[in-house]
Amino acid sequence: MNIKDKSIIELDNICKDIRSEILRVVSKNGGHLSSTLGATELIVAMHKVFDSKKDPFIFDVSHQSYAHKLLTQRWEEFDTLRQFNGLCGYTKPSESDDDYFVAGHSSTSISLGVGAAKAIALKGEQDSRIPVVMIGDGSMTAGMVYEALNELGDRKYPMVIILNDNEMSIAKPIGAISRMLSSAMASPFYQKFKKHTENFVDNFGEAAHYMAKKAEESLKLITPGIMFEEMGINYIGPVDGHNLTQLIEIFEKAKELKRPVIIHAQTVKGKGYDIAEGQEEKWHGVGPFDLDSGNSSKKSGAKSATQIYTEALLHLAKHNDKIVGATAAMPSGTGLSELMETYPDRFWDVAIAEQHAVTSMAALAKEGFKPFCTIYSTFLQRGYDQVIHDTCLMDLPVVFALDRAGIVGEDGETHQGVFDISFLRAVPNMTLFAPRDEKSMHQALAFASEYNHPCSVRYPRGSFTETGLAESIPFELAKSQLLRSNSSDILFIGYGNGVGRAYETAEFLESDVGILDLRFVKPLDEEMLSDMSKKHKKWFVFSDSAKMGGVGSAILEFLAKEKILHVEVESFEYEDNFITHGNTKLVEESLGLLPKQLAKRVEELL
């Protein structure tokens, strides 16, 4: 949609149409809602002033980019948002040339912008191209942002950074004064005057520099941008993020400066949908819901693994005041919000700062506490150095509780929790284990609470797969549980939620199979595996994890070490590819991992 020649009235109507379409589709498909509604005018103004065909449009996380998708020839496809084989919920260059970069994790945008600005400078394209970055105030809590700003302020590459502040917490009491000053500070006159003044005082030594600096600081102190200005980046704001006239005017001025500029725009989360306006986490990411009432369309089913984790940790924390915990900006998603309410001095949301979460919990462990670092599997990737250097090297007893392990569905490639076993198994002093149902979750956390070394416990999004297998017994280090024995050559080895998949697959087979709940992938139950090798010659491994470096790899390494050569191992873990978005069952079907499909593969392999 070309909006370059549209009037303000026409652009306002386009914003209304965009919001209406976002609400219609997200209420049907689920997705990110409040942030993307709030960013609508910002994105329309971006497309009015800049050109996404040549200017890198970089959206931090990019969950707020739905309006961008609608403005870039994807209106007709928008019904397929987050659906299998449909539009991705994040920016994706393979989907459109207007999407500059894959995004899904936060706080990468300014670094990408600096890199793009360097490339533009090297190509000599500064007069025709400029990176345009949109970042939310939440993403500004991660350290990577300041690493990028530090270099940008020093190098002074032309870039426009739009800070989408939807918390309405900065400079609200003096908003009117700030708006007036922001417009003045963005004007060519002010910028030209500032440059001339800098040149003038250069001739009068340090005293003049000192006086000029103090005069400028006294002006900037009544705006919230002094930190950015001190870093060498021009600051404009706060501005009304829903006033198209003001936004377009300021974007034009920022574009002309040919310097790094931060435009601080204040927006309202959920703008245009009364039920969601001002809400914070509840309307950030939603499942299908009724537009009129705002009520979820999803019927309540089995208890989720996250709910079980919350209940189990609450019970442990009640009886052990040394248990503490942290999450990184996902208190509801990880189930830690109830613990934060019950024990506000012992459980913390540290914002989007996984590295800080891990290292701070390591210090608590050193002081004699028992930290539960509760993070999505995909997000622990961001704290990997801290796991190795700050936790395992010191052999500190931090528990890494990894929610959303396995396929997570509609969030897709950037969020699938498939790598944690592979990257944690290589770290010395780390112990890895997983529950398979509600009772074993309680038992796994009870074990973790008493364990004096670093450990990781993983569990799926949604509910565990129910089985009719033997009841779980308490966890014991490096001990598996044989759930079903038989006299055939076939042994199904399940890990975590893979036990349920092994059970369901076995139900499709005519022949009986043995089923082993591995429980620990590091250290393995070598005694049990040695015993099983004498009884079963064909082993099939079930785990919601990457095949490379995963559970099957650990078992093969054990067999090679022990020179057990007669056992054939087939792993039904994920192949070496990034896994697309979509309904989990459809994604699993595309990978050939539904129990009926696996049963057929077992029969073919036999």
Q: Is 299 helix (H, G, I), strand (E, B) or coil?
A: coil
Q: Quick one: CA dihedral 65, 69, 70, 76, positive or negative?
A: negative
User: Do residues 351 and 242 both lie within one domain?
Assistant: no
Beta bridge partners of 243: none
Q: Does 367 score more than 60 pLDDT?
A: yes
Torsion of CA 118, 120, 126, 127, to 10 degrees: -170
Please state which of the ranges 51-55, 209-213, 256-260, 499-503 shows the lowest mean pLDDT: 209-213
Q: Does 169 score more than 60 pLDDT?
A: no
For the chain, the average pLDDT equals 91
What pLDDT digit, counting tens, does each position of 98-114 carry? 999 999 999 999 999 99
Give which of 131, 56, 132, 47 is closest to 99, Cα–Cα: 56
User: Do residues 110 and 258 both lie within one domain?
Assistant: yes
Give which of 406, 397, 345 is closest to 373, Cα–Cα: 397
Tokens read off for 479: 């001990």
Given a contact cutoff of 8 angstroms between Cβ atoms, the answer to whether 467 and 505 are in contact is no
The verdict on residue 289 lying in a domain is: no
d(CA 295, CA 125): 50
Q: 382: which residues sit within 8 A by CB, 6+ positions away? A: 105, 354, 355
User: Do residues 105 and 166 both lie within one domain?
Assistant: yes
First vs last C-alpha separation in the chain: 56
Q: Does 395 score more than 80 pLDDT?
A: yes
Token pair 């999004």 in the structure block, residue: 461
DSSP labels, 16-68 = HHHHHHHHHHHHHH-EE-HHHHHTHHHHHHHHHHS-TTTS-EEESSSTT-HHH
User: Do residues 91 and 209 both lie within one domain?
Assistant: yes
Q: What is residue 238's predicted lDDT score, i.e. its pLDDT? A: 87
Annotated active-site residue in 69, 74, 82, 269 = 269
Identify the H or E element spanning 256.
Answer: helix 244-257
Q: What integer is the mean pLDDT of 490-508?
A: 97
User: Do residues 360 and 497 both lie within one domain?
Assistant: no
Tokens read off for 424: 């944690």
Annotated active-site residue in 74, 92, 271, 382 = 382
Q: What integer is the mean pLDDT of 324-343?
A: 96
Given a contact cutoff of 8 angstroms between Cβ atoms, the answer to whether 518 and 526 are in contact is no
Annotated active-site residue in 41, 354, 438, 504 = 354
Tokens read off for 77: 């496809």
Given a contact cutoff of 8 angstroms between Cβ atoms, the answer to whether 535 and 513 are in contact is no
The verdict on residue 474 lying in a domain is: no
The verdict on residue 577 lying in a domain is: yes
For the question of residue 563 being annotated catalytic, the response is no
Q: Does 549 score more than 90 pLDDT?
A: yes
User: Do residues 453 and 485 both lie within one domain?
Assistant: no
User: Do residues 389 and 280 both lie within one domain?
Assistant: no
d(CA 433, CA 518): 9
Q: Is 347 helix (H, G, I), strand (E, B) or coil?
A: strand
Q: Is 137 annotated as a binding residue?
A: yes
Tell me which of 132 and 180 has the higher pLDDT.
Answer: 132
Q: Does 300 score more than 80 pLDDT?
A: no
Given a contact cutoff of 8 angstroms between Cβ atoms, the answer to whether 100 and 90 are in contact is no
Q: Does 181 score more than 80 pLDDT?
A: no
Q: What integer is the mean pLDDT of 517-534?
A: 98
Q: Is 410 annotated as a binding residue?
A: no
Q: What integer is the mean pLDDT of 6-11?
A: 96
Tokens read off for 428: 């010395």
d(CA 355, CA 143): 9
User: Do residues 237 and 162 both lie within one domain?
Assistant: yes
User: Do residues 421 and 549 both lie within one domain?
Assistant: no
- CA angle, residues 509, 510, 514, in degrees to nearest 5: 65
Q: Is 166 annotated as a binding residue?
A: yes
Q: Is 224 helix (H, G, I), strand (E, B) or coil?
A: coil
Please state which of the ranges 60-74, 270-284, 400-414, 472-486 shows the lowest mean pLDDT: 270-284
Q: Does 182 score more than 80 pLDDT?
A: no
Q: Is 333 annotated as a binding residue?
A: no
Note the pTM of the prediction, 2 decimals. 0.89
**Confidence class for position 253, pLDDT limits 50, 70, 90:** very high
Q: Is 138 annotated as a binding residue?
A: yes
Given a contact cutoff of 8 angstroms between Cβ atoms, the answer to whether 169 and 163 are in contact is no
Q: Give the chain's count of helices (H) and strands (E).
A: 23, 19
| CATH code of the domain in which 551 resides | 3.40.50.920
Given a contact cutoff of 8 angstroms between Cβ atoms, the answer to whether 100 and 110 are in contact is no
Q: Does 340 score more than 80 pLDDT?
A: yes
What sections of 124-204 are H helices per DSSP?
A: 143-155, 175-186, 188-201
d(CA 247, CA 268): 15
Identify the H or E element spanning 459.
Answer: strand 455-460
Give which of 8, 65, 5, 2 is closest to 248, Cα–Cα: 8
Q: What integer is the mean pLDDT of 539-546?
A: 98
Q: Is 520 helix (H, G, I), strand (E, B) or coil?
A: strand
Q: What is the largest CA-CA distance in the chain?
A: 94
d(CA 154, CA 217): 19
Q: Does 566 score more than 90 pLDDT?
A: yes
- CA angle, residues 388, 497, 371, in degrees to nearest 5: 35
The verdict on residue 200 lying in a domain is: yes
Q: Does 578 score more than 90 pLDDT?
A: yes
Q: What is residue 511's predicted lDDT score, i.e. its pLDDT? A: 83
For the question of residue 318 being annotated catalytic, the response is no
**Confidence class for position 166, pLDDT limits 50, 70, 90:** confident
The verdict on residue 466 lying in a domain is: no
Given a contact cutoff of 8 angstroms between Cβ atoms, the answer to whether 547 and 561 are in contact is no
Gyration radius of the chain's alpha carbons = 27
Cα separations in angstroms, 320 against 201, 374, 449: 64, 18, 9
For the question of residue 10 being annotated catalytic, the response is no
**Confidence class for position 214, pLDDT limits 50, 70, 90:** low
Q: Is 273 annotated as a binding residue?
A: yes
Q: What integer is the mean pLDDT of 369-377?
A: 98
Domain tally for the chain? Answer: 3
User: Do residues 427 and 351 both lie within one domain?
Assistant: yes
Please state which of the ranges 92-96, 182-186, 498-502, 538-542 shows the lowest mean pLDDT: 182-186
d(CA 436, CA 452): 23
What pLDDT digit, counting tens, does each position of 62-89 carry? 999 999 999 999 999 999 999 999 999 9
Beta bridge partners of 539: 491, 569
Q: Is 304 helix (H, G, I), strand (E, B) or coil?
A: coil
The domain in which residue 584 lies consists of 481-605
Q: Is 541 helix (H, G, I), strand (E, B) or coil?
A: strand
d(CA 159, CA 56): 10
Q: What is residue 483's predicted lDDT score, i.e. its pLDDT? A: 97
Q: Is 510 annotated as a binding residue?
A: no
User: Do residues 503 and 445 both lie within one domain?
Assistant: no
The verdict on residue 468 lying in a domain is: no
Q: Is 100 annotated as a binding residue?
A: no
**Residue-wise burial string across 75-91, b where 16 or more C-beta atoms lie within 10 A, e elsewhere:** eeebebbbbbebbbbbb
Given a contact cutoff of 8 angstroms between Cβ atoms, the answer to whether 305 and 463 are in contact is yes
d(CA 566, CA 450): 38
Tell me which of 167 and 344 has the higher pLDDT.
Answer: 344
User: Do residues 171 and 31 both lie within one domain?
Assistant: yes
| CATH code of the domain in which 444 resides | 3.40.50.970
**Confidence class for position 174, pLDDT limits 50, 70, 90:** very low
The verdict on residue 528 lying in a domain is: yes
DSSP labels, 570-604 = EE-SB-SS----S-HHHHHHHTT-SHHHHHHHHHH
d(CA 227, CA 522): 46
Tokens read off for 165: 């502040």
Q: What is residue 220's predicted lDDT score, i.e. its pLDDT? A: 47
d(CA 66, CA 21): 10
Q: Is 241 helix (H, G, I), strand (E, B) or coil?
A: coil
What pLDDT digit, counting tens, does each position of 145-160 carry? 999 999 999 999 999 9
**Confidence class for position 180, pLDDT limits 50, 70, 90:** very low
Q: Is 1 helix (H, G, I), strand (E, B) or coil?
A: coil
Percent of the chain with pLDDT over 70: 90
Q: Is 435 helix (H, G, I), strand (E, B) or coil?
A: coil
Given a contact cutoff of 8 angstroms between Cβ atoms, the answer to whether 59 and 103 are in contact is yes
The verdict on residue 325 lying in a domain is: yes
